[in-house]
Amino acid sequence: MLHEDRGGGWPTFNSAIACGMAGDMEAARALFRTAYDSIGAWRPDLQRLLDPYAEAIKEKEEFTNFVMGQINSQRKKYGFSPIADIDGRTTLTQTD
């Protein structure tokens, strides 16, 4: 495992996403739990934004599809074309 948990927050959330996209779901789940708890304690109103990630992180393929959907949703919002996911597929799944 190439991550270090430094106490939560957004850096730990970003590490969880990176680990999940790299396929290390065990590390992703552990980091996400820490991030979820620390961000929720700091700003309970933000937990609703994290809940979809908490659900998707259960399975690698579901997580990958969800994250790619989030990325492409933001790209579309700002006028950029979608990017292919790590398997070479282009996904346009929008999650609001």
Q: How much is the pTM?
A: 0.74
Of 8, 52, 61, the residue nearest 30 (C-alpha):
8
CB 17 within 8 A of CB 67: yes
SS3 29: helix
Amino acid 6: pLDDT? 61
Domain ranges of the chain: 9-77
Q: What percent of the chain has pLDDT over 70?
A: 80
Dihedral (CA of 6, 1, 57, 95) sign:
positive
Q: What pLDDT digit, counting tens, does each position of 39-71 carry?
A: 888 888 988 888 999 889 989 999 999 999 999
Whether 64 and 85 have beta carbons less than 8 Å apart is answered as yes
